[in-house]
Structure 1
């Protein structure tokens, strides 16, 4: 098994591409060892010193390190070993395959249009940088769209610019009811 790595715009996150599906059913993010217990791979990655976040995308894993911690050259071999051992073992990605998802209430036409634009144009671009962007809420009175950044994009120095210069402009162009975009932290 050959695992490629790619830098992300976030200097504290690195993207690992194992050459196979990672989380085809939907992305998952773990920000603590307590959250990571849901996944044997995430839990093993959190055992590595200075790992502060793990994100599973459709075909990649993004690992975030402490900003003041060890260099990637020290951490990368350990991370590669853990990822390789996991996929070679055949152990499932998640311990409980039944993800509890509440049935979504019916979206308004505007919210459905926003979600469609996120899924078709924005999320694929953000995934290339090792992250994800999720709909949080839309206030139809004020036009404020709230989005949640995950993976390498959460805490990235350029995420604010991505939201304002990229996402907000696109949203305002295609969905005129959107007046501004805010990040939910």
Structure 2
């Protein structure tokens, strides 16, 4: 198996493409190894300098501390991914472990639909995700995950991309902020 890597706009995040299914249930972010029992994710989070793992449909984004160089850990991550899939495993996560947006009002449902259809696919290409958290008094609160978390360009993306798009489609939206 050949695991490819892609750089992301975040210099402290790298996207690993195993050429196989990663998540069968949508995006999922893990920052503490005690929060998950998955062997691969726990092993990656055990690498010195790794701060988080984000699982997409067909990729794994790994976030590292600024002081650690990719040359020091990239080969370890690739080796762990290879070992995991060589054991015959078909995917990393099979069930949705994250919370669902339930009991949303009409405007919140529209916000989530726009995020899902127009923004999340573009953010996923960069190894990240955006999740709706709250809408109150014209302000949409979102959570940036994966490569987007801590990315130097995420503020510009949030304001010029996400905010402009939501304000265009939904006049009720005045501002978008990351939490």
- Give the alignment's TM-score, normalised by structure 1: 0.90
In structure 2, relative to structure 1, the CA distance for the partners of 1:100 and 1:74 (3 Å cut) is closer
In structure 2, relative to structure 1, the CA distance for the partners of 1:33 and 1:179 (3 Å cut) is same
TM-aligned CA deviation for residue 74 of structure 1: 2.1
Match of 2:131 among 117, 130, 134: 134
Match of 1:166 among 158, 161, 165: 161
Q: Given the alignment of the two structures, is residue 57 of structure 1 paired with residue 56 of structure 2, yes or no?
A: yes
Consecutive unaligned residues of structure 2, counting only runs of 5 or more, are none
Q: Is the 8 A contact 2:28 2:98 kept in 1?
A: no
Query: Deviations 1:122-147 (Å, cap 9, x if unpaired)?
Result: 000000010000000011xx210000
> Where has structure 1 moved over 4 Å in runs of 4 or more?
100-103
Q: Is the 8 A contact 1:6 1:14 kept in 2?
A: yes
TM-aligned CA deviation for residue 38 of structure 1: 2.7
Q: Given the alignment of the two structures, is residue 66 of structure 1 paired with residue 59 of structure 2, yes or no?
A: no
Query: Could you tell me which residue of structure 2 aligns to residue 40 of structure 1?
Result: 39
TM-aligned CA deviation for residue 61 of structure 1: 0.2
Q: Secondary structure at the match of 1:118?
A: helix
TM-aligned CA deviation for residue 76 of structure 1: 1.1
Q: Given the alignment of the two structures, is residue 119 of structure 1 paired with residue 112 of structure 2, yes or no?
A: no
In structure 2, relative to structure 1, the CA distance for the partners of 1:77 and 1:150 (3 Å cut) is same
In structure 2, relative to structure 1, the CA distance for the partners of 1:148 and 1:17 (3 Å cut) is same
Q: Secondary structure at the match of 1:22?
A: coil
Q: Is the 8 A contact 2:10 2:150 kept in 1?
A: yes
Q: Secondary structure at the match of 2:21?
A: coil
- Give the alignment's TM-score, normalised by structure 2: 0.93
Query: Could you tell me which residue of structure 2 aligns to residue 104 of structure 1?
Result: 102
Query: Could you tell me which residue of structure 1 aligns to residue 76 of structure 2?
Result: 78
Paired positions, count: 178
Q: Secondary structure at the match of 1:24?
A: coil
Match of 1:146 among 114, 134, 141: 141
In structure 2, relative to structure 1, the CA distance for the partners of 1:52 and 1:98 (3 Å cut) is closer
Q: Is the 8 A contact 1:24 1:59 kept in 2?
A: no
TM-aligned CA deviation for residue 101 of structure 1: 4.8
